[in-house]
Amino acid sequence: MAVTTTPVDDGAVRGFGEGLHGDLLQPGDPNYDEARSIWNGMIDRSPALIVRAMGVSDVIGAVNFARDHDQLLAICGGGHNIAGNAVCDDGLMLDLSAMRSIRVDPETKTARVESGATLADFDHETQSFGLATPLGINSTTGVAGLTLGGGFGWLTRRYGMTVDNLRSVDVVTADGKLRHASEDENPDLFWGIRGGGGNFGVVTNFEFDLHEVGPEVLAGMVVYHGADAPDVLRHVRDFNESAPDESTVWMVLRKAPPLPFLPEDVHGENILVVVPFYAGDMAEGEEVLAPIREYGDPIADVVGPHDYAAFQQAFDPLLEEGARNYWKSHNFSTVSDDAIDTVVEYARDLPSPQSEIFFGQLGGAMGRVPADATAFPHRDAEYGMNVHTRWEDPADDDRCIAWSREFFDAMAPYATGGVYVNFISEREGEENLAYGENQDRLADLKTKYDPENLFRMNQNVEPAT
């Protein structure tokens, strides 16, 4: 797959810039280095041009310019982009982060969201009306990238994935046309956008269904010593097997950060963090989650009523931008005893204080959607695992990446064979694992809407012909 780009005449560049409402940046311009920097500190690329779009007209102009002048095109939303596909060398970077308008209709319980918005932006607006939709677990995540890959978080078991709550989109396709896509209009394109990872165009606006959530929810953390992990992981797994859709319990293995509710002598030690969340009546949640909170000998229990929007930001301090990040991912239909033993073994030797392994509980409403209903295929997953390796010193790159890959390989025998597209750090053939049984249909759709593969800075689906 070619990733080359073609030099452009200065006059064409000037004319392009004059037609934009937003800014056009080139190397040496003020704010250029700031604009090309993204969340993952491992990514250091220098586009020839950066368009800081202010609206749909700028997006159309950038797509047309990139296509007509054979420019490698990278799309930057508002969030993390672990793989670094949001920025390219030499080509055109389309930065959507200024497009973050959100309009909530509390009567129809819907929200229209521009492509540069983050989860924090979304929650701020929707929680004013006691509404929410299933998104991620970190408020600095971009709504667009999360949605295009499928999207899951605390509300997924009750209300489905992010794409299951997507009502429509506006998208600029490779021919420079703005199309509306929904179940009734361009339904094939709408199918592919729901999990196809940005392969079919630049989505400028998302329309979501909303649900009554909060403002307070029952959530928090129960923290155990690392030595207790084998027993506690099995207990949580067994609890989750019969828990109602309102209940979601995640498991995180890491070294203890200096959180105020953890004793100082625990800081830096291996811990297991159990994170329960109940999307329903508070009193019912207390009863349902009691077996989680009453088990074993935890170091700390900070489960209780939390402001929903605030809880969405609880893990933000552990994911600030600038650090070096490399992720791997597996899906699981269950976490077997052998898998737990393997996880515990590798968690004892985490390669850096910031690294972690988490198991996000899925299933529930998500699993009752047919695998071919949307481009996201992994409806059999009861857990999504993220091997989240994170460090500061470039000298540690090889060691940390090697540990991630070794652990990923060690867990493969227990996994479903599927991975979550948003957790893939690089192109290593994992695209096939991400799109699964929907790969061929996606390739046909790519042929229809992007036959020249203009949108290839992603976990790419190549055209069928």
Sheet with strand 178-182: strands edge to edge: 102-105, 110-114, 202-209, 166-172, 178-182
Q: Where does the pLDDT of residue 1 fall: very low under 50, low under 70, confident under 90, or very high at 90 and above?
A: very low
Express each pLDDT in 50-77 by its tens digit: 999 999 999 999 999 999 999 999 999 9
By mean pLDDT, which of 78-82, 96-100, 290-294, 439-443 is the weakest? 78-82
Mean pLDDT value across residues 197-201: 94
Quote the CA–CA distance of 108 and 106 in Å, as a whole number.
6
Express each pLDDT in 405-444 by its tens digit: 999 999 999 999 999 999 888 765 666 788 989 999 999 9
User: Which residues is 356 bridged to in the sheet?
Assistant: 254, 388
Question: In angstroms, how far is CA 7 from the centroid of its own chain?
Answer: 33
Mean pLDDT of the chain, nearest integer: 94
Quote the CA–CA distance of 101 and 265 in Å, as a whole number.
45
Quote the CA–CA distance of 2 and 79 in Å, as a whole number.
26
- pLDDT at site 116: 96
Q: Where does the pLDDT of residue 319 fall: very low under 50, low under 70, confident under 90, or very high at 90 and above?
A: confident
At 323 the three-state DSSP class reads coil
Express each pLDDT in 139-164 by its tens digit: 999 999 999 999 999 999 999 999 99
pLDDT at 214 over 90: no
At 310 the three-state DSSP class reads helix
> Can you say whether the dihedral through the CA atoms of 173, 178, 181, 184 is positive or negative?
negative
pLDDT at 384 over 70: yes
Quote the CA–CA distance of 19 and 28 in Å, as a whole number.
21
CB contact set of 447 (below 8 Å; sequence gap of 6+): 463, 464, 465
Question: What pTM was estimated for this model as a whole?
Answer: 0.94
Express each pLDDT in 111-142 by its tens digit: 999 999 999 999 999 999 999 999 999 999 99
| Percentage of residues of the chain with pLDDT beyond 90 | 88
Residue the block writes with tokens 């991975």: 419
Quote the CA–CA distance of 401 and 349 in Å, as a whole number.
13
Mean pLDDT value across residues 344-353: 96
Q: What is the crossing angle of helices 337-347 and 229-241, to 10°?
A: 140
By mean pLDDT, which of 11-25, 122-136, 177-191, 271-285 is the weakest? 11-25
Mean pLDDT value across residues 448-459: 95
Q: Where does the pLDDT of residue 318 fall: very low under 50, low under 70, confident under 90, or very high at 90 and above?
A: confident
In whole angstroms, how large is the CA radius of gyration of the chain? 22
Q: Where does the pLDDT of residue 2 fall: very low under 50, low under 70, confident under 90, or very high at 90 and above?
A: very low
Mean pLDDT value across residues 2-19: 79
Mean pLDDT value across residues 237-249: 97
- pLDDT at site 114: 97
- pLDDT at site 4: 58
Mean pLDDT value across residues 242-259: 96
Q: Where does the pLDDT of residue 10 fall: very low under 50, low under 70, confident under 90, or very high at 90 and above?
A: confident
- Kindly report the number of other CB atoms within 10 A of residue 1's CB atom: 7
Q: Where does the pLDDT of residue 311 fall: very low under 50, low under 70, confident under 90, or very high at 90 and above?
A: very high
Query: In order of start, what are the domains of the chain with their CATH numbers?
Result: 10-95 (3.30.43.10), 102-213+436-449 (3.30.465.10), 216-423 (3.40.462.20)
Question: In this structure, are residues 54 and 99 in contact, taking their beta carbons and an 8 Å threshold?
Answer: yes
Whether the link from the prior residue into 215 is cis, omega within 30° of 0, is yes
Angle at 442 between CA 441 and CA 447, to 5 degrees: 100
At 128 the three-state DSSP class reads helix
Mean pLDDT value across residues 215-220: 95
- pLDDT at site 427: 64
Quote the CA–CA distance of 446 and 438 in Å, as a whole number.
12
